Chains A and B, each alone.
Chain A
Amino acid sequence: MKALIKELVEAFGPSGYEEQVAELIRAKAQAVADDIRTDNLGNLIVLKKGTGGGKRVMISAHMDEIGLIVSYIDKKGFARFNPVGGLPISTMTGARVRFANGTVGVIYNEKDGWAGPGSLADCYIDTGATCPEDSPVQIGDVACINRPMEELGPRLTSKAMDDRIGCAVALQALLELPASPNDVYFVFSVQEEVGCRGAMVAAFGIEPDVAVAVDVTSWGDTPQAKPMAIELGKGPAIKVKDGGMLAHSGVKRWMVASAEAAGVPYQLEVLIGGTTDAYTIQTARAGVPTGCLSVPTRYVHSPSEVVDYNDVLNATRLMVQMLANPISW
C-alpha cells in the first residue's frame, strides 16, 4: 500500500483543483467499480454495488489539500499569494511550492528570515522570473507544497497526508471489499479544506442511509502536545466529537463493534478543534447518521505530516469489516 500512498500524497490537488488526484483514483478504481461519475463540484463518486438488502453507505475522503493562490506579480517577477485553506504561516519561509503545470517556486520572507514571517503578506514566491512578462505563473494560478513522501521507520511523512491518507484507505478498502449486501458510494470529495463543500453536495445527491468520513485527526503524544488521548501506532481513531460535529452514537457503536469483530486496535477520539466532511454530510437533506474514521496524524497542515503505517493498514481493515457485513447498531 506504500506505493499507492506515495502516488496519492505527492499528487497535485489544492481545493478546487483536484482533477489530477481524481484521475489517479479513477484509473485504479475502474476495474472493481460498478459505476464511476464526477458530479458538478468535481467529487469523484465510485459505486460498489451490493448483493441487495443492505444499506446505502457513503464513505467520504477528501482529495483536496491546503495550498496557495497567486494574487499579484510585482515588476521584478516575485509572486504574492493568498492561502487556500488553513496554511500555517510558520512553515512558509524556505518552503517549495509546485504549480499545476509543474513550475516550482521558493517561498521566502524578508521581514525576519530567522524567526519567520508575521503574516503571509511578508512572503513571496520566487519562481526565477525577473519581470511579470517572463513569469511562468499568472494571477490565479494555484500551488501545493512540494514535498516527497519519506519513511521514518514505521512511519510515513509527506505533505497532503490530510487527506490523501484517507483517500488511500478508502481506495484500498474498495479494492479489497468482498461481496456485501451494501451499496457503497466511495466519494473522493473536493473542497473540504474550505468548508467541507464537496461532501455537502455529494451527500445531497446520494441520499445515503449512513455515512462515514475518513480523515486525519490530531495527536497527543509529542513532548509538548496539548492533552489528547490519541497516539500514533495505537490504531485508527473512532470519532466521538470534534469542533464541528458529534458522531451519531449508533454509527460509533457500529464502528466499535466492527473493530472488535476484526480484532483491530482502535482509539476513541474527542478532538477540540477542526472538523471533517462528516460535518456537512450529517445535515444533508433530512439528516444522515454519520461518523468518522480517523488516522492519527502529527503536524497536521505542516509540509511534513506524519502517520503510522500500521494505523493506515488497520484503518483499512476496519473499513472493510464495516462495509462487508450487514450494518446495524
Chain B
Amino acid sequence: MDIVGLMRTLSSATGISGYECALAESVRQAFQPFADEFSVDTLGNLIALKRATRPVAGVRRSIMLAGHMDEIGMIVKEVKDGYLRATDVGGIDFRTLLGQEVVVHGVRDLPGVIGARPPHVLAATDYEKPVPWDQFFIDIGLPADQVSELVHVGDLVSLRREFIELAEGHVSGKAFDDRAGVASLAVCLEQLSSLQHSWDVYAIATTQEETGLKGATTAAYGINPDIGIAVDVGFGAQSGVAEHESIRMNAGPAIAIGPNVHPKMQARLMAVGDLNEVPYQKEVIPGASGTDGWAIQVARAGIPTAVLSIPLRYMHTTVETLNVKDIERAGRLMALFISGLDEAFAADLGL
C-alpha cells in the first residue's frame, strides 16, 4: 500500500468534527478493495465490514477497530464589519493560529487568512502574551456586505496546510490526528486479505472524537463487538516533551497499558508483535486514554479493549509529523492479531 499517497489524500481532505461526510467518501475508497460491506450510522461513522474468511462454527464473533476521521477546526461565531470571529471545534492551540491560511466553508468555500497586528505597533509586553481567542479575526478580503451574504454564524473554518514529505519516511501536515489511525485500518484490511481470520472485522472511521468520543460511543453500541481496538496518535519524542511523557518515533506503535486496556488484550498484542517481529513499544496510560477506546470499553455491558498509539510530533498543530513506517507496523500488528483470534482467546477473555 502507498501509505504516503493515502496520507496525502486523507490529510488534504476536510472533515471537522460533526461534518465528516465528504471525507468519509475518501476513506471508503481507501477501504473499498478489502471490505465486503459498508454502512454509515446515525452519527456519520463509516463502518467497513470484512467478514470472517475461515468457516465459522458456533458463535459468530467480531472485533471493532476504531480510528477517528474527524479533525479539529473552527466555527464562525460572529460576522462583523467584514471580519469573522471564530471559536474552536475540538482543542485547537490558539497560539498556533496567527498567520495561518484557512478555508471558510460559507455559501461556498472561501480562502481566508488569520491576521495579526504588525510587530512594529506592538508594545514590548505584547510579545509575552498569547492573543486571546476573542481578539482573533479571519479576513477573506471581501467588502463587509458581501461577507455577510456569504458567511453566517455556524459556518465552519478549516485550516489549510500542504502535505509534505520530510526525510526518511517522515511526513508532515494537518489532521494526521487521526487520519494516521484511519490509514492504519486500511493497512490492516489489506494485510488481512492475504491472511485467514475467524472473526468478523468492523473497521470504523469514527466521527466527533475530538468533541467527546461521540462517534465511537454510538458505533460500539450499534455494532456490539466482542472486543475492540482504538488506534490514535501518541506524543512522539520531541524537543520540549519529557522522555517519560513521550514515545519514540519510528519505533512501532505503542501498546497502551493501564485501566483503559484489558490486560489480556495488551498481552496478546505484545505476544503477536514478538512472534512476528513487528516493532512495538509500551506506553503507560494511568487513566483516561482520551481515545475512542475510552468510550468503547464501557459500551453496553463492557467490551475488552486495547489502545494503540502511532507516535506523532506537534499534536493539534498543522505540522503534525510522523513516520509512515509506524502506520504500516500498526496495521500489520492488528492484522496478525486478528488472524490469531479464536475461541480459546474468547474463553480466556470470558466472552
Contacts and interface: CB of A to CB of B under 8 A. Distances in A.
A282 B75 CA distance: 20
A249 B134 contact: no
B110 interface: no
Interface in A218-240: 220, 226-229, 240
B77 A227 contact: yes
B75 A283 contact: no
Contacts of B219: 286-287
Contacts of A286: 41-42, 218-219, 221-222
A270 B78 CA distance: 9
Interface string A240-283: 11001111110010000000000000011110100000000011
Contacts of B78: 220, 227-229
A252 B153 CA distance: 13
B222 to A, nearest CB: 3
B235 interface: no
Interface stretch (B53-61, B209-217, B308-316): B209-217
A211 to B, nearest CB: 11
Contacts of A227: 77-78, 85, 134
B32 interface: no
Contacts of B76: 270
A249 B79 contact: no
B9 interface: no
Contacts of A248: 18
A216 interface: no
A268 B219 CA distance: 29
B66 to A, nearest CB: 14
Contacts of A195: none
A249 B18 contact: yes
Contacts, number: 75
**Interface size band for B:** 20 to 34
Contact of B218 (A220, A240, A247, A283): A283
Contacts of A245: 211-212, 214
A288 B76 CA distance: 25
Main secondary structure of the interface of A (DSSP, over half): loop
Contacts of A229: 77-79, 153
B43 interface: yes
B19 interface: yes
Contacts of A289: 42
B204 to A, nearest CB: 12
A28 B74 CA distance: 43
B89 A283 contact: no
A153 B217 CA distance: 47
Contacts of B152: 268
Contacts of A287: 41-43, 214, 217-219, 221-222
Nearest to B224: A286
Contacts of B87: 241, 270, 272
Given A282-B43, A286-B41, A246 B211 contact: yes
Interface string B69-113: 000000111110000010101000000000000000000000000
Contacts of B221: 285-287
Nearest to A230: B153
User: How many residues of A sit at the interface, in one of the four size bands?
Assistant: 20 to 34
B33 interface: no
Contacts of B75: 240-241, 270
A268 B153 contact: yes
Interface in B4-19: 17-19
Contacts of A282: 43, 214
Nearest to B45: A287
A217 B63 CA distance: 41
Contacts of A272: 77, 87
A58 to B, nearest CB: 13
A206 to B, nearest CB: 15
A224 to B, nearest CB: 12
Contacts of A220: 78
Interface string B223-241: 0000000000000000000
Contacts of B212: 244-245
Contacts of A283: 43, 214, 217-218
A240 B89 CA distance: 11
A240 B19 contact: no
Interface string B136-159: 000000000000000011100000
A55 to B, nearest CB: 13
Contacts of B153: 229, 240, 267-270
A245 B78 CA distance: 19
Contact of A246 (B18, B21, B77, B217): B18
B260 to A, nearest CB: 18
A311 to B, nearest CB: 17
B317 interface: no
B321 interface: no
Nearest to A272: B87
Contacts of A226: 134
A285 B212 CA distance: 16
Given A268-B153, A286-B42, A287-B221, 18 more contacts: A227-B77, A228-B78, A244-B212, A245-B214, A246-B208, A249-B19, A249-B21, A267-B153, A270-B77, A270-B87, A270-B154, A282-B43, A283-B214, A285-B221, A285-B222, A286-B218, A286-B219, A287-B217
Interface of B: 17-19, 21, 41-43, 75-79, 85, 87, 89, 134, 152-154, 208, 211-212, 214, 217-219, 221-222
Please give me the 4 A-B residue pairs with the lowest Cβ-Cβ distance, nearest first: A287-B218, A240-B154, A286-B222, A246-B18
28 contacts: A226-B134, A227-B78, A227-B85, A228-B78, A229-B77, A229-B78, A229-B79, A241-B87, A244-B212, A245-B214, A246-B17, A246-B18, A247-B18, A268-B153, A268-B154, A270-B75, A270-B77, A270-B153, A282-B214, A286-B41, A286-B218, A286-B219, A286-B222, A287-B42, A287-B219, A287-B221, A287-B222, A288-B42
